[in-house]
């Protein structure tokens, strides 16, 4: 077992770290405050090849793997989570379903633009009435001649309403299985299709420089050929996508947790109270030591899950463990980093205030902490 990075992985991590510090850090607070999408940052990330990291070169990718994506996400989130979640959702939720399940024609149509970062795609699973219980999907798609007619709505869909959003994949009920359960399928809906409406962006607590919308489908017609993979495979498809996505969200959470350590060390050395730097107090040192301990162990958990996935082994339980642990410690670290910053930690101009606001969603998105526990317990045979 060797968790040391190869030279290539270390170089990727270094270049993303430098990009995050030099390009993202100076501009992101303004975007965060104004709730604007950082198009120029995203464009530059596209040029760096980040959107193509885990995809084969024949489809316009960089020929890397999912672990490379995770390393990039960790370094981005160490500085800012809005940008990191934009990349995570674009790659693991947006492009990956097309890459994994699409026909050659669908891949040729969508992947070049998605993998270069010129276009973004959303993943429409959650609905206003159902999230964790995805089998409760209400959105319906009926085949009418050579078209699907879609009716329903989706909630909280990332990257679904930017100026460069090209399409969303939508999970819909397309019939009834022999056992009486819902037949779920995934359908590609291009942006601008009549009957597909994108609501104004949500007013969010965190990730305010990322793009999230409610979507409605009102007799929305798309060609029958927009079915992704086989009819009735929707359930299996999103389970696979979410299993992988948990490793990516864990990496993002580790990045946020590590960013809290970075900022706390800096502040603890600068800030003086009672005639000395606050970092000379063992109470502060122990807080920072515990934060580092948490970031480090959560990193090992996602490295392990990614290694199993790439080896073609079962990784469901390990991905759930990594996501559950990393999101929990990200919230812990954000709380402690804010505490170390005192009143300034409550001011939006300090990165830790952003980390604090961005941390909570990590325990909710792509499967809540309760759902992760359900997955782990089930995998243990309970
Ligand atoms: C900013 C943001 C971006 C998002 N992006 C996307 C996206 O791109 N695509 C997408 O499809 N979705 C997206 N989501 C949705 C997200 O994945 C869901 O919010 C999440 O899965 C939880 O679903 P829910 O909100 O419906 O909560 P619910 O499922 O209603 O759960 C409410 C509470 O009940 C708990 N609960 C539910 N069932 C059980 C049980 N059996 N046992 C114990 N506790 C239970 C949950 O853990 C939670 O605490 C996003 C959400 C946000 C906020």
Asked if residue 2 has pLDDT above 90, the reply is no
207 lines ligand 1 (CB under 6 A): yes
| Residue having the nearest C-alpha atom to atom 6 of ligand 1 | 157
What mean pLDDT is reported for the chain? 97
Distance from the CA of 372 to the center of ligand 1, in angstroms?
Answer: 11
From the CA of 366, give the closest atom in ligand 1: 17
170 lines ligand 1 (CB under 6 A): no
From the CA of 171, give the closest atom in ligand 1: 11
From the CA of 129, give the closest atom in ligand 1: 26
The pLDDT assigned to 120 comes to 98
The pLDDT assigned to 349 comes to 85
Mean pLDDT of 91-115: 97
| Residue having the nearest C-alpha atom to atom 25 of ligand 1 | 131
Q: pLDDT (tens digit, 9 = 90+) per residue, 261-303?
A: 999 999 999 999 999 999 999 999 999 999 999 999 999 999 9
The pLDDT assigned to 52 comes to 98
The pLDDT assigned to 137 comes to 97
Mean pLDDT of 90-109: 97
Q: pLDDT (tens digit, 9 = 90+) per residue, 342-358?
A: 999 999 889 999 999 99
**From CA 73, how far away is CA 17, in angstroms rounded?**
10
Q: Which CATH superfamily is domain 7-120 in?
A: Acyl-CoA dehydrogenase/oxidase, N-terminal domain (1.10.540.10)
366 is catalytic: yes
Distance from the CA of 364 to the center of ligand 1, in angstroms?
Answer: 6
366 lines ligand 1 (CB under 6 A): yes
From the CA of 158, give the closest atom in ligand 1: 8
Asked if residue 4 has pLDDT above 90, the reply is yes
The pLDDT assigned to 123 comes to 97
Mean pLDDT of 232-254: 96
103 lines ligand 1 (CB under 6 A): no
The pLDDT assigned to 3 comes to 87
**From CA 69, how far away is CA 72, in angstroms rounded?**
5
Distance from the CA of 280 to the center of ligand 1, in angstroms?
Answer: 42
The pLDDT assigned to 290 comes to 98
Between residues 341 and 134, the one the model is more confident about: 341
The pLDDT assigned to 172 comes to 98
The pLDDT assigned to 258 comes to 98
| pLDDT band at residue 133 using 50, 70 and 90 as cut-offs | very high
From the CA of 93, give the closest atom in ligand 1: 8
Mean pLDDT of 142-156: 98
Asked if residue 1 has pLDDT above 80, the reply is no
Share of the chain above pLDDT 70, in %: 100
Distance from the CA of 64 to the center of ligand 1, in angstroms?
Answer: 30
Between residues 3 and 53, the one the model is more confident about: 53
Q: Which residues of 184-214 are buried (b: 16+ CB within 10 A; e: fewer)?
A: bbbbbbbbebeebebeebeebebbbbbbbbb
Distance from the CA of 51 to the center of ligand 1, in angstroms?
Answer: 25
Q: pLDDT (tens digit, 9 = 90+) per residue, 306-335?
A: 999 999 999 999 999 999 999 999 999 999
- Let me know if the fold of 7-120 is the same as that of 122-232: no
CATH class of 235-380: mainly alpha
| pLDDT band at residue 370 using 50, 70 and 90 as cut-offs | very high
Q: pLDDT (tens digit, 9 = 90+) per residue, 9-24?
A: 999 999 999 999 999 9
**From CA 345, how far away is CA 336, in angstroms rounded?**
10
Model pTM above 0.95: yes
Catalytic: which of 8, 263, 366, 370?
366
The pLDDT assigned to 135 comes to 86
Mean pLDDT of 183-193: 98
Closest CA to 62 of 84, 87, 37: 87
CATH class of 122-232: mainly beta
Q: Where are the domains of the chain?
A: 7-120, 122-232, 235-380
Asked if residue 211 has pLDDT above 80, the reply is yes
Asked if residue 98 has pLDDT above 90, the reply is yes
Q: Which residue from 128, 133, 138, 156 has its CB within 8 A of the most atoms of ligand 1, so it is best to mutate? A: 156
Q: Look-up: residue for tokens 């359908």?
A: 187
């Amino acid at each position: 077992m060797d968790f040391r990075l190869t030279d290539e992985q270390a170089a990727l991590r270094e270049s993303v770290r430098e990009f995050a510090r030099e390009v993202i850090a100076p501009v992101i607070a303004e975007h965060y405050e104004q709730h604007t999408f950082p198009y120029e940052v995203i464009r530059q990330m596209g040029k760096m090849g980040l959107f193509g990291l885990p995809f084969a070169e024949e489809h316009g990718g960089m020929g890397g793997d999912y672990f490379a994506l995770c390393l990039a996400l960790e370094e981005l989130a160490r500085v800012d989570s809005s940008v990191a979640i934009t990349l995570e959702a674009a790659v693991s939720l947006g492009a990956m379903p097309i890459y994994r399940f699409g026909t050659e024609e669908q891949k040729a149509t969508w992947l070049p633009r998605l993998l270069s970062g010129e276009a973004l795609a959303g993943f429409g699973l959650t609905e206003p009435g159902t999230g964790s219980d995805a089998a409760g999907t209400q959105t319906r798609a009926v085949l009418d001649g050579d078209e699907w007619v879609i009716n329903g709505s989706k909630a909280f869909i990332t990257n679904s309403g930017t100026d460069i959003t090209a399409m969303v994949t939508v999970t819909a009920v397309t019939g009834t299985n022999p056992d009486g359960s819902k037949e779920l399928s995934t359908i590609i809906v291009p942006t601008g299709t009549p009957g597909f409406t994108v609501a104004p962006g949500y007013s969010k607590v965190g990730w305010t420089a990322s793009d999230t919308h409610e979507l409605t489908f009102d007799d929305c017609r798309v060609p029958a050929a927009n079915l992704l993979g086989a009819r009735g495979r929707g359930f299996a498809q999103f389970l696979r996508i979410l299993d992988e996505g948990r490793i990516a969200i864990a990496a993002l959470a580790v990045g946020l947790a590590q960013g809290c350590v970075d900022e706390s060390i800096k502040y603890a050395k600068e800030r003086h109270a009672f005639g000395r730097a606050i970092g000379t107090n063992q109470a502060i040192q122990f807080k920072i030591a515990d934060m580092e301990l948490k970031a480090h162990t959560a990193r090992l958990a996602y490295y392990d899950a990614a290694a199993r996935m790439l080896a073609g082994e079962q990784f469901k339980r390990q991905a759930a463990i990594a996501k559950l642990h990393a999101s929990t410690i990200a919230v812990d670290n954000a709380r402690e980093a804010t505490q170390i910053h005192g009143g300034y930690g409550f001011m939006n101009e300090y990165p830790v205030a952003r980390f604090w606001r961005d941390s909570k969603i990590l325990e909710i998105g792509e499967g809540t902490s309760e759902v992760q526990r359900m997955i782990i317990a089930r995998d243990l045979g309970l």
